[in-house]
Amino acid sequence: MCGAELQSLPDGVRRVATLLQTLGHPHLPVMLDDAARTAQQAADALGVGLGQIAKSIVFQRLPDAVAVLVVASGDRRVDEAKVQALVCGEGQSLGRAPASFVKARTGFTIGGVSPLAHAEKPLMLIDESLGRFDEIWAAAGHPHSVFRLTLADLAAWTQAPVTDVTAVNEA
């Protein structure tokens, strides 16, 4: 993408695209015709398996209000107890983050939270089950935008631990 193409993108997508270019990543964000606010919508729009969608779930660590971002495989359920055990100390707990908190801390609205280019760097964990796939897709800063990457890319760029934070979804 050249500078003119970047300028026409929504602000969040532009931030992600600029960072991906800086990182030398060959796959820049793509804009989808329909919203991909959920992992299932993204998988359907891309024609890929649900597990290939790297969904971003934001929690709020209490009482210190630290943003905790979990990037998980779309076919898995985040196990909040596992996340809490990994990121909370004595007297701390974890709760779902309200939309206003997500927007303020990440710079993205729910449904478009990218694992990269946040307003404030969150505490981050990556679901190890994403490693089942050669290629994964993540939100690119807007509910209509995604980008292609690998688990190795995500781990290298974020330096976040890759660990077991999910349970298999029950049918």
Question: Does residue 6 surpass a pLDDT of 70?
Answer: no
Question: Does residue 35 surpass a pLDDT of 90?
Answer: no
> 108-132 burial, b if ≥16 CB within 10 A, otherwise e?
bebbbbbbbbbeeebebbbbbbbee
The pLDDT score that the predictor gives to residue 171 is 44
pLDDT tens string 84-115: 999 998 889 999 999 999 999 999 999 999 99
Q: Give the range of the structural domain holding residue 13, as residue numbers without chain letter.
A: 3-168
CATH code for the domain in which residue 73 is found: 3.90.960.10
Question: Does residue 162 surpass a pLDDT of 90?
Answer: yes
Q: How many domains does the chain have?
A: 1
In the block, tokens 């909370």 appear at 88
| 68-90 average pLDDT score | 96
